[in-house]
A = this chain, B = another copy of it.
Amino acid sequence: MTQSPPSKPFKRILLTGAAGGLGRILRERIKPWAEIVRLSDVVDMGEPGANEEIVRCDLADKAAVLALVEGVDAVLHFGGISTEAPFEDIMQANILGVANLYEAIQKHNVKRVIFASSNHAVGYYKTTDMLDASMPARADSMYGISKCFGETMSRYYYDRFGVETVCIRIGSSFPEPANKRMMSTYFSYDDLTEMLRCSLFAPRVGHTIVFGMSDNPSVWWDNRYARHLGYKAKDSSEQFAGKFPDTSEFPEKDDVTTIFQGGKFLLDGPMYR
């Protein structure tokens, strides 16, 4: 249940990856939470709106990142590469980028961080497995490996410096499920927004890993260790069930995209044959 705070709770929030798929969606939705929203990306983000600051920034540039974070109360880190790519590219954007960001976060005493992790951090679990946040990661791609890295790095910053982060292993955050797999991983924009709100304003989050999903009928993930966040999904993929009629056209027994949770990522990557 969102409420209208008497004044905006944060002075300045930084949203990285503001030009990306989810960044564009969130740009408007996070405005109620801060007097100023600072937006960052490596590509053009258009003109700043009211109470917006636009900062073009390559996260691999340490000095630039240090400047980017100055004056910021909270960081929503949605930047970096969000699909499979050659490791060298992933490393610059998602590994060096995260390292630079957390160093800046710690130096500037940022109060709260949300790290957009991914279900691809655990994509090699089976679609018949039930995961919770205590189980070891099993990345399905270079991209997924970089998300595991971000989770490890943020854990370190919490253990050593007390920087509080919520890592959201985002499922499939799109207007609607594009295939049957997404019936299990669907994460509506409204639910994503609510999970961000809960993660930003819970008094204590420590270092929390949570799976980003709506209240779907079929799920693979159990969020029991993140119930302190107070997140309750309001949407469900059930409304889209009609798009995927019951069928006996089952996938082949050796079809890795349905055996494993990672889906098409099981086929991606420069190294796969």
Name A residues whose Cβ lies closer than 8 Å to a Cβ of B. 1, 3-6, 9-11, 33, 73-74, 87-88, 91, 95-96, 99, 103, 106, 111-112, 124, 126-130, 134-142, 144-145, 148-149, 152-153, 155-156, 159-160, 162, 180, 183-184, 197-198, 200-206, 208, 216-220, 222, 224-225, 227-232, 238, 241-242, 245-248, 250-251, 253, 258-259, 266, 271-272
Contacts and interface: CB of A to CB of B under 8 A. Distances in A.
B160 A250 contact: no
A106 B247 CA distance: 21
A9 to B, nearest CB: 5
Contact of A203 (B9, B112, B156, B180): B180
B271 A5 contact: no
Contacts of A1: 217, 238, 241
Nearest to A202: B218
B231 A217 contact: yes
A246 B5 contact: yes
Given A127-B204, A230-B218, A248-B9, A156 B145 contact: yes
B200 A245 contact: no
A5 B259 CA distance: 24
B272 A130 contact: no
List the 4 closest A-B pairs by CB distance, nearest first: A218-B230, A5-B245, A217-B230, A201-B246
B201 A128 contact: no
7 contacts: A6-B245, A91-B96, A130-B228, A139-B155, A160-B272, A218-B228, A222-B227
B148 A183 contact: no
A248 B152 contact: no
Which of A73, A228, A231, A248 gathers the greatest number of chain B CB atoms within 10 Å? A248
Given A1-B238, A127-B204, 7 more contacts: A1-B217, A88-B96, A106-B271, A124-B156, A126-B204, A145-B149, A222-B227
A230 B156 CA distance: 29
Contact of A152 (B99, B149, B202, B220): B149
Given A33-B246, A241-B1, A204 B91 contact: no
A87 to B, nearest CB: 5
B3 A242 contact: yes
B225 A130 contact: yes
Contact of A156 (B139, B220, B227): B139
Contact of A111 (B95, B222, B230, B250): B250
Nearest to A96: B91
Contact of A145 (B152, B162, B204, B242): B152
